[in-house]
Structure 1
């Protein structure tokens, strides 16, 4: 299935946007004006297939077919290939430059390769590079995108570029293809460029893990509670539909009041919060800690809260058993919370299982004494495999 974009990737400075808009207005004027002796070029990109079931560590080729459907020749043209962070350009010819761009607003980091073809592009002809550009599939690839565009101007070097590298391979030229080679239709709103974006999917997975907490203190104390989300990889997860990848639901133990919620968390009910990641992607090996401050109001026997992923589908995560964990509360003199900490039982751990120790208003020695007095020696936690955080 082919997917195309009708808008050009926006620039990040007002001056560049203004310049681009001015150029488009000028070309529109040419498009609607009566035909002149000089005529005007009109670029149209050929079809791009979606790319699926790629193996991390492999590669694929991008054709880059385009046509000049106008009535005037061009002396130079640029082909641009932009890929999200699970893909990479590594073997570029010397007439191409690679730009590594940092994440910005709602766009993840990406790599742009811009290739300059300093040769005549005749009106009414179809072209493609004599050697297709190769794109590498990285070990953390999963849901990525490829955008290809053809333009009369160089679109490289946008704001946020952290690295610029010129290719070292032999220069590649354009080769003319048969005139009946399939291409799209030039868009009259931007005759100077055309582009398309397609999905690229790798055969990989990501392991989302949640770590709960154990808090301890006396009635009236204010204590820290830190729950944690980890993407143990190997893949990053990017929502190409620009919706949240997932959300974390946190429910506090009975008998407590939140005095300071964690950033990126919204209260949805008394003692319950919905927490996000701040973007539409979660990188591999990333960790999000949700740091809350609680007040212990009273001792409630067996009180415990929970941390869990919401009902968003996670088809890339084959094992959901570590998607929930418990928040246990030990009120001095009232005993420690008991009960399972997730969908399965297991041996408790305070250094990387379903629970994590958090701070308390009690001194460390006093807190340890309270735990021993309560006779608590084990906790049930969810753990699928040894964590890497």
Structure 2
């Protein structure tokens, strides 16, 4: 079931999103303080019935209402569902909280929550004679009561329904593992069930294991290779092709349970798992083909910055190199988010001007705001570290400094910071080496 958003809500590594409809409000007092939303998928595939065979299980169409402001109680929700666009495409089974009249139904939600939940769950079957590829739509509108006034969601929300035929492999991944010890082995179980109406003629399994996990030999049908760039490969990719035929309702499993050995340098690790039907078939709902197995190891990483001393006469340009080092024992990676593992904040010493800025560094005002006058000449800089660093890895940022005033020694501050927010890095037990100085002295 594919979904889109009109107001995005991120739910995680294998995220599910819902189409949300903004609401107009009946009174000015309410309009500025709360909003009603309709939760509905933007797309839905309903299984075609095989010729002469039994009908597949109903496809679920899950709907709901919610609002924003926790200070307000919103009640008496009325979600109107119009299925006239499904004529000849799909038949609908209504739940007990819906009152159908012809091709529409008013569904009641007595108490509207402030988070998206499934409150109205319809069942859809392909209509008799509806072939794969037939399509239609369901449209929605909604009203509710808040603080004595009315909330009304405007029209425009709809679900496109398509009749499909084929395999539908649904992958269920393992629960996160916490507190894994370096050197230990942890299970990485997952299940695969074919919820489609056609057999999967073979199964392809792809695993991406981060550097701190060793999957060993998964199966003879698998090949493994390093993936990614850098001093060491951050990820190992394992590709597997199995000839297993998975009938509708049937399941697939690896020849042996998947296990991972936790490396001495592991910290926050993951295995990304995807499955696909073989023989070039297209999965009916590829968004259910992936999962992430998270493994958190008990470990730390000592991040440190090192300053430097430079000297020169007035008018000279010198190179001042800021140095970052991960002293380990753990490597650190933000492969999921793509965020840098940290920031190096550099305040330029008085009496000098930056004329050459390293890659991944940007200018700031002295108070930390954006510097609008170009990369050079800023009084302060913030440098992004890579999205992953191995244990014992060093990263340098060479700045070109023009010495404007060859006076007494001046000092610039170098500070290691998290990519967002303030405070120490959560994995770094030693904050004493998170600060250093760049000292500028006149030439002898």
TM-score with structure 1 setting the length: 0.64
In structure 2, relative to structure 1, the CA distance for the partners of 1:154 and 1:323 (3 Å cut) is farther
- Equivalent of residue 265 in structure 2, options 120, 127, 140: 140
Q: Which has the higher helix share?
A: 1
Matched, 1:236 2:331: yes
Q: Which residue of 1 aligns with 2:439?
A: 328
- Residue 30 of structure 1: how far off its partner (Å): 12
Q: Where does structure 1 lack aligned partners over 5 or more consecutive residues?
A: 8-28, 156-186, 333-369, 371-389
**C-alpha distance in structure 1 between counterparts of 2:361 and 2:167, whole Å:** 52
Residue pairs, 1:309-328, within 5 angstroms: 309-310=416-417, 311=422, 313-328=424-439
2:136 counterpart residue number: none
- Aligned residue pair count: 275
CA apart distance, 1:312: 5.5
Where does residue 204 of structure 1 map in the other structure? Answer: 299
Query: Equivalent residues in 2 for 1:3-152 (5 A)?
Result: 5=14, 34-37=48-51, 40-103=166-229, 109-152=234-277
Q: Give the equivalent residue in structure 1 for 2:321.
A: 226
Aligned to 1:248, which of 344, 354, 358?
A: 344
CA deviation string 1:192-223 (max 9, x = no partner): x7111132211111111111011112222222
Give 3-state SS (helix, strand or coil) of 2:406's partner: coil
TM alignment of 1:156-305, pairs within 5 A:
188-190=284-286, 194-239=289-334, 240-269=336-365, 270-277=378-385, 279-305=386-412
- Rounded to whole Å, the distance in 2 between the matches of 1:241 and 1:227 is 26
Q: Confirm or deny: 8 A CA contact 2:205 2:275 kept in the other structure.
A: yes
With CA pairs under 8 Å and 6+ residues apart, which has the higher RCO, 1 or 2?
A: 1
Counterparts of 1:154 and 1:248 in 2: how far apart (Å)? 50
CA distance in 1, matches of 2:306, 2:279: 48
Query: CA RMSD for the aligned pairs?
Result: 2.9
Give the conservation status (yes or no) of the 8 Å contact 1:207–1:233. yes
Contact 1:83-1:111 at 8 Å conserved across structures = yes
In structure 1, how many angstroms separate the alpha carbons of the residues matched to 2:44 and 2:315? 75
- The corresponding residue for 2:151 is none
Deviations, residues 108-139 of structure 1 (Å, cap 9, x unaligned): 83212233332332221234235202222222
State the Cα distance separating 1:258 from its structure 2 match.
1.4
Supply the distance in 1 between the matched residues of 2:278 and 2:392 (Cα, whole angstroms): 38
